[in-house]
Amino acid sequence: MNWAAKFSSRSVSPFRQVDHVPMSNPIETKPAEAERPPGLRWKARFPLLSLIVERLLLSILLLFAVSVLIFGGVEALPGDFATTYLGQSATPQAVANIRSELGLDRPLVTRYVSWLGGALQGDFGTSWASRNSVSEQVGRRLGNSLFLAGFAALIAVPLAVGLGMLSVHFRNRMPDKIINVLSLAAISLPEFFIGYLLILYFAVNFGIATFPATVYEGMGFLERLQTIALPTATLVLVVLAHMMRMTRAAILSVMSSAYMETAELKGLSAARSIVKHAAPNALAPIINVVALNLAYLVVGVVVVEVVFVYPGMGQYMVDAVTVRDMPVVQACGLIFAAVYILLNMLADILAIVANPRLRHPR
């Protein structure tokens, strides 16, 4: 069975998994079953479970590889941090001192192992710039970032799916064309442009929103919501168009399938056709679209945080990059990658679970 391999490669196209499950003709596969090597039988009997386990293992492997890439890649690239840290005029002695202080004189592998070991226990070391614990900062800021992204998702997902359905319903007619042009424009706008546009109008000219979006500990929930109104709106606008276009494509491919024609030729009402026949099959691709865009959202948060001076992970990372504060850069990079990988894994697993061919094996 080669769809195991197909599933394992992470894909951005939401329909690929569904499309690649072969519409197999059982007559042809019968002889194959009889002569299949014994090791594959477990896979054949529990395709769902084995695919999920496979996907989980793959994600763990991927995370590990990413940690090597982020740590090792950074170390292998040219540029001496100690010199950067002290400035060009530093004496060789000072450079040597700072190298040993930062632990840069130890072998690469030793440093990687202790870094990864620390990271697994939630300890990302000390910031070079502020001498504070990285984990402490990350802990607070990650919560802020997830709150912002999560709230944006809460608004964007139903809106995108709704607009996608609307677009399919009015397919090739005026509302669909308008939505198409607008979404095409929306995916062309840089995040910071949307952000400043909103600030100029809503915070400066009309004065109905706050800027900058400063949140602090012990802030009331409603006040917090009010503060993040503009960054949320920016994120929603950024992700909406993508999600809407992908949803539309996902629904269209289901609506144009032969079984929808069968439903129509059975004389079923439009409502029943959609609820009973289209929805169960459109669910998997839509879930996939949503999860993939959530991953995108987590990254989009970086720029939006800088625009709105929002104390999240993105701002933290960008600041650290500017001053070359490597422990912070590595920690943020790893965490962003981890969130991204996990959301993608979730997307794939939900798509696997939603596929009736895998849920009900022969």
Partner 1 sequence: MPELSTALLSVRNLKIEATSYPPGEPPKRITIVDGVSFDLAKGKVLGLIGESGAGKSTIGLAALAYGRGGAEITGGEVKLNGTDILALGKGGIRKVRGARVCYVAQSAAAAFNPAHKLGDQVIEASVKHGLMSRDEARKRALYLFRVLGLPNPETFGNRFPHQVSGGQLQRAMTAMALCPNPELIVFDEPTTALDVTTQIDVLAAIKHAIEETRTAALYITHDLAVVAQISDDIMVLRYGKTVEYGPVQQIIEAPRQDYTQALVNVRQAIRHEAADQSRPLLSVDHVSAQYSNGFKVLHDVSLHLCRGQTLAIVGESGSGKSTLARVITGLLPPSDGHISFDGKPLTPSLKRRSRDELRRIQLIYQMADTAMNPRQTVRDIIGRPLTFYDGLRGAAKTAKVKELLEQIEMGTGFIDRYPAELSGGQKQRVAIARALAARPELILCDEPTSALDPLVAEGILKLLAKLQEDQQLSYVFITHDIAIVRAIADSVAVMHRGRLVRFGPKSQALSPPFDDYTDLLLKSVPEMKLGWLEQVLATRRMESAGN
Partner 2 sequence: MRLREIPITAWVGIFGILLAIFCALFAPWVAPFGETEVVGGVWQEADAQFFFGLDNLGRDILSRLIFGARTTLFVAFAATLVSFSLGIVLSFIAAVSGGLIDTVFSRFNDLMMSIPTLIFALVVLAVLPQHILILILVMAVLDSTRVYRLGRAVALDVAVMEFVEAARLRGEGTTWIIFREILPNTLSPLLAEFGLRFAFAILFLSTLSFLGLGIQPPTADWGGMVKDNKDGIIFGIAAALVPGSAIAALCICVNLVVDWLLKRTSSLKGGRGDA
CA 330 to each of CA 82, 252, 337: distance values in angstroms, whole numbers, following the listed order: 16, 42, 10
Binding mask 337-356 for partner 1 (x = CB under 8 A): -------------------x
* Min dist. Cβ of residue 356 to partner 1 (A): 5
Binding mask 300-339 for partner 1 (x = CB under 8 A): ----------------------------------------
Is residue 2 within 8 A of residue 339, CB to CB? The reply is no
19 in contact with partner 1 (CB under 8 A):
no
Helices (H), 170-278: 174-187, 191-198, 221-227, 229-255, 258-265, 270-272
What span, in angstroms and rounded, lies between the C-alpha atoms of 231 and 198? 9
Binding residues among 42-101 for partner 2 as defined by CB under 8 A:
62, 65-66, 69-70, 73-74, 77-79
Task: Write phi, then psi, for 133 (nearest 5 degrees).
Answer: -70, 130
Binding mask 241-270 for partner 1 (x = CB under 8 A): ----------------xxx-xxxxxxxxx-
According to CB under 8 A, which one of 17, 28, 60, 340 is a site residue for partner 1? 28
Q: Do residues 17 and 288 lie in contact, with contact meaning Cβ atoms separated by under 8 Å?
A: yes
Strand positions, DSSP E, the chain: none
17 contacts 355 by C-beta, under 8 angstroms: yes
Q: With contact defined as beta carbons under 8 Å apart, do 148 and 312 qualify?
A: yes
Does 320 interact with partner 2 (rule: CB under 8 A)?
yes
For partner 2, what does the binding mask look like between residues 187 and 206, x meaning CB under 8 A? Answer: xxxxxxx--xx-xx---xx-
| Shortest distance, position 347 Cβ to partner 1, whole Å | 19
Position 317 contacts partner 2 (CB under 8 A): yes
- Residues forming the site for partner 1 (CB under 8 A): 23-28, 30-32, 35-37, 257-259, 261-269, 272, 276-277, 280-281, 356-357, 360, 362
